[in-house]
Amino acid sequence: MSEEAKAVQEVAKTTGVAIRAVEKMGAFLSNVAGVPIATAVGIFEDKLRYMRWENQLNLIEKANEKLAQRGLCSPTRLLPLQFTVPLVEAASLEDDDYLQDLWATVLVNAADETVDVQLRRAFISILEDMTSLDVLILKVIGAVTLSPTYQLDVLNPGFYVGYLPERAAPMDEFQDGIPQPKKEVRISVGNLQRLNLLAISQTVDGVSDPNHVKLTELGKELLRLCSSDGDSEVRHAHEAK
């Protein structure tokens, strides 16, 4: 099956799910507001269509701005539909400004032939499962891990989650006032581990500590796709590889 046929198939699946969701929402609004189902469905569809259209316009505007900042007037690499369609679909449903900007960066990096990235559709689904805090934590750890000057301490490996997201640093057992990990950070780190972007670090003798995490190879590659000119530490690290 061709890439185009696969993409069309995926769109058809997504459309079918969306239609069923709209029907359920329409029935719910009809009962709540006391209006005919057709009216309720129409209101919901119009609002959803406008929101997605507005987000898609923002995506294109941000992408064009980022291309212009690189001195490009148009994309220099053609993207497969099975990557592009899910990306635009995901971005159109995002309301968080930080994540909207991230989707634009992903699109521009993918469309820039000078950026060495893998265009895996799995990265789109992974990003859909991440919050802005997840992305921030991953970038903070990546900025240190991918630095050319970074050296792993085998006796105290990885980064203590209690300092996140402000900074990625090891835990000094002899230091007073070591911060306890915040609940939202624990949840975020847990999600990043579920997505195989972070892993619990281990010492050379196999001792592991759930409060110490390290970046996985998948996490490094995702950061390559998500890094922008503002993420200088991440970009420089990749250039030095």
The structure tokens listed for 174 are: 């002899």
pLDDT, tens only, 14-69: 445 555 654 555 554 454 445 555 555 554 455 555 566 677 777 888 888 888 88
Q: Is residue 142 domain-shared with residue 94, that is, in the same domain?
A: no
Q: Which amino acid is at 152?
A: L
pLDDT at 149 over 70: yes
Q: Domain range spanning residue 65? A: 3-117
> Is the CB of residue 106 less than 8 Å from the CB of residue 226?
yes
Closest among 24, 3, 112 to 68, alpha carbons compared: 112
| Across 31-45, 70-84, 214-228, least confident range | 31-45
Same domain, 9 and 34: yes
Q: What is the CA radius of gyration of the chain?
A: 21
Q: What is the pLDDT of residue 176?
A: 64
In a domain, 125, yes or no: no
- The answer to whether residues 158 and 84 belong to one domain is no
Whole-angstrom distance, CA of residue 132 vs CA of residue 100: 10
Q: How many domains does the chain have?
A: 2
Q: Look up residue 86 and give its DSSP letter.
A: H
Last residue of a domain, one of 93, 117, 141: 117
User: 143 and 104 share a domain?
Assistant: no
Q: Is residue 124 part of a domain?
A: no
Instruction: Return phi, psi of residue 165, to 5°.
Output: -90, 5
Distances in whole angstroms, Cα of residue 22 to Cα of each of 13, 40, 62 = 14, 10, 29
Q: How far does CA 142 lie from the centroid of its chain?
A: 14
Residues 217 and 151 in one domain: yes
Three-state SS sequence of 146-186: CCCCCCCCCCCCCEEHHHCCCCCCCCCCCCCCCCCCCHHHH
Q: Which secondary-structure segment (H or E) carries 215?
A: strand 208-215
